[in-house]
Copies of this chain bind each other. A is one copy, B any other.
Amino acid sequence: MSGGVEWALHCCTLLSRASQPVPAVKLAEYHDVSPSYLAKQLQLMSRAGLVRSTQGNAGGYVLTRDAAAITVLDVVEAIDGVLPAFRCTEVRQRGPLATPAEQCADPCAIAKVMDSADRAWRDSLRAVTIADLVADADRQILPGAVERARAWLAS
């Protein structure tokens, strides 16, 4: 999994708390990461329709929809794509006792198990939204931290 997932999810929680669009340079500064690195993650999220940039004086990034309608899986797939980590290369069709191709319409037993684990992983990430993350984080952080972040973003 790419390290971009951690940045992207943190950006989404910050954007959901911000009261106005956040310029990319502020997002980078807030997270102390290089603007060009973060720009790549923002571009991937924008391509996936999760964020968009508004133009003009107070321009910057916003979430395209309510944080309760963006799942963690949406963000993970925006950054890392939708392909499962396991790819079956049809090992069973190789070698002197290869299974004939016409017997391989159904996926291999091994591929089925790996696919169902991948589904369990995605289901788990789909069950949590950015709004859930923010609510959970709010229970952990110091009183006043959200207000300080908002003031910093607006400054």
Q: Which of B10, B87, B95, B103 contacts A110 (CB 8 A)?
A: B10
Give complex CA distance A97, B125 in Å.
27
Check if A66 is an interface residue, CB within 8 A of chain B. no
> In the assembled complex, which residues on chain B have CB atoms less than 8 Å from the CB atom of A124?
113, 116-117, 120-121
Give complex CA distance A100, B121 in Å.
31
Give complex CA distance A117, B123 in Å.
8
A32→B95 contact, CB < 8 A: yes
Check if A92 is an interface residue, CB within 8 A of chain B. yes
Can you tell how many copies of this chain the complex includes? 2
Q: Which of B117, B136, B148 contacts A97 (CB 8 A)?
A: B148
Check if A101 is an interface residue, CB within 8 A of chain B. no
A152→B97 contact, CB < 8 A: yes
What are 29 A-B interface contacts by the 8 Å CB criterion? A3-B87, A5-B114, A6-B89, A6-B91, A7-B91, A10-B92, A10-B110, A13-B110, A30-B97, A31-B91, A31-B95, A32-B98, A33-B91, A33-B94, A72-B113, A72-B117, A97-B152, A103-B140, A106-B140, A108-B137, A109-B136, A110-B133, A112-B136, A113-B124, A113-B125, A113-B133, A114-B125, A117-B124, A118-B121
